[in-house]
């Protein structure tokens, strides 16, 4: 029986979020002994725990079929690798930062200065498009210390909360790109693996869709049911159950979280009462 091979980061926040996604997809794996490779017990999936920076090459070489990886890393090391899904977690940005005492007005203030980074291709391409020449210093790890030791005048690095920059007396001045975890597929994935990939992707899509929706139940006067139904467009139609109290019904539906409060306000204005909101674990359509 064929097995789908997936790469995820072997440690760190992306590792934790990736394992949670697999669990939410109903896939059980064990990594209690910090193995570098393990198999799911209830789905034909083999998991490889790899250094984050190595994952794009594993995809390009066809060693793994898919991977959960930051989109910033694909831009740097594998721009030709297809992205199947944006996963919405591990969000960050690749930003330019300078010492706090650096007088910064615009990107042109960095002209001909030394910039340290672990993302040389991304930085080079960005500054070329801005037509600003720089002296690029490629380093791996602890990029934020470079200005403090005289190695560089500025840096380009991943920024999440900004606390690391603050601790190293740096300030963020420009965002090159925004990144999040994505599901990427190897350009060399074998044809026989594609059916397994679609099964896995369907589970991922169900989890992602559920995360953007809320299940709502409310009590509604019967004469208001039509008006309520018109502002609950996510499903084909709401579920309507008559209540024991004459002239009232329970209306159940799904609403988009992005429009949550706007919809709730409208429901209350029309006459909905006792509105109950519940999270959705999966959404299969």
Residue-range domain boundaries for the chain: 4-89+180-210, 92-179, 213-279
* Fold equal for 4-89+180-210 and 92-179: yes
Mention every residue, 6+ apart, whose C-beta is less than 8 A from residue 82.
184, 185, 187
Beta strands in 37-189 (DSSP E): 37-39, 45-50, 66-70, 83-86, 92-99, 114-117, 135-138, 154-159, 170-179, 181-185
What's the whole-number mean pLDDT along residues 21-27? 94
φ, ψ for residue 265 (rounded to 5)? -60, -40
pLDDT tens sequence across 46-84? 999 999 889 999 999 999 999 999 999 999 998 899 999
Residue 35: pLDDT band (50, 70, 90) is confident
pLDDT(283) > 60: yes
Q: Whose CA is closest to 181, among 270, 259, 72?
A: 72
Assess whether pLDDT exceeds 70 at residue 89: yes
Band of the pLDDT at 233, cuts 50, 70, 90? low
Q: What is the DSSP-derived secondary structure letter of residue 238? A: -
| Cβ-contact 140, 118 below 8 angstroms | yes
How confident is residue 13, by pLDDT bands cut at 50, 70 and 90?
confident
Per-residue confidence (pLDDT) for residue 43, from 0 to 100: 94
The residues, any chain, with a CB within 8 Å of residue 34's CB and separated by 6 or more, are none
Query: Is 213-279 assigned to CATH 3.30.70.120?
Result: yes
Rounded to two decimals, what is the model's pTM? 0.83
Averaged pLDDT of the chain: 91
Who's near 228: CB < 8 A, 6+ residues apart?
Answer: 218, 220, 238, 251, 267, 270, 271, 272
What is the reported pLDDT for 180?
A: 96
- For the cut 80, the answer to whether the pLDDT of residue 251 exceeds it is yes
Is the pLDDT at 256 greater than 90? The verdict is: no
Instruction: Answer yes or no: are the C-beta atoms of 128 and 144 closer than 8 Å.
Output: no
Q: Which has the higher per-residue pLDDT, 162 or 97?
A: 97
The predicted pLDDT at position 223 comes to 92
Q: Tell me: the pLDDT tens digits for 122-156?
A: 999 999 999 999 999 999 878 999 999 999 999 99
4-89+180-210 sits in which CATH class?
Answer: alpha beta
Q: What is the CATH number of domain 92-179?
A: 3.40.190.10
Read off the pLDDT of residues 158-182 as tens digits, 9 standing for 90 and up: 998 889 999 999 999 999 999 999 9
For residue range 195-219, what is the model confidence (pLDDT) as tens digits? 999 999 999 999 998 888 888 999 9
Give percent of the chain with pLDDT exceeding 90. 71
Contact 231, 266 (CB under 8 A): yes
Give the other-Cβ count within 10 Å of 66's Cβ: 24
């Amino acid at each position: 029986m064929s097995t789908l091979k997936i790469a995820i980061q072997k440690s760190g926040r992306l590792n934790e979020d990736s394992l949670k996604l697999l669990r939410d997809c109903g896939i059980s794996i064990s990594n209690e002994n910090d193995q570098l490779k393990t198999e799911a017990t209830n789905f034909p999936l083999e998991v490889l725990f790899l250094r984050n920076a190595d994952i794009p090459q594993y995809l390009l070489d066809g060693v793994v079929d898919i991977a959960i990886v930051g989109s910033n890393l694909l831009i740097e090391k594998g721009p030709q690798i297809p992205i199947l899904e944006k996963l919405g977690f591990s969000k960050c940005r690749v930003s330019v930062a300078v010492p706090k005492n650096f007088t910064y007005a615009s990107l042109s203030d960095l002209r001909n200065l030394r910039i340290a980074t672990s993302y040389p291709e991304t930085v080079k391409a960005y500054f070329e498009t801005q037509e600003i020449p720089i002296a690029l210093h490629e380093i791996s790890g602890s990029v934020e210390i470079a200005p403090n030791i005289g190695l560089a005048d500025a840096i380009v690095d991943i920024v999440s909360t900004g606390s690391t920059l603050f601790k190293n007396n740096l300030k963020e001045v420009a965002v090159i790109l925004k990144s999040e975890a994505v599901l990427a597929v190897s350009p060399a994935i074998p044809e026989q693996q594609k059916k397994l990939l679609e099964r896995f992707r369907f589970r991922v899509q169900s989890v992602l869709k559920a995360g953007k929706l809320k299940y709502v139940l409310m009590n509604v006067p019967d004469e208001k049911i039509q008006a309520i139904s018109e502002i609950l467009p996510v499903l084909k139609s709401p579920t309507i159950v008559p209540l024991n109290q004459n002239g009232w019904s329970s209306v159940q539906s799904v609403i988009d979280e992005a429009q949550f409060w706007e919809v709730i306000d409208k429901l209350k204005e029309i006459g909905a009462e006792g509105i109950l909101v519940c999270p959705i674990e999966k959404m299969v359509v």
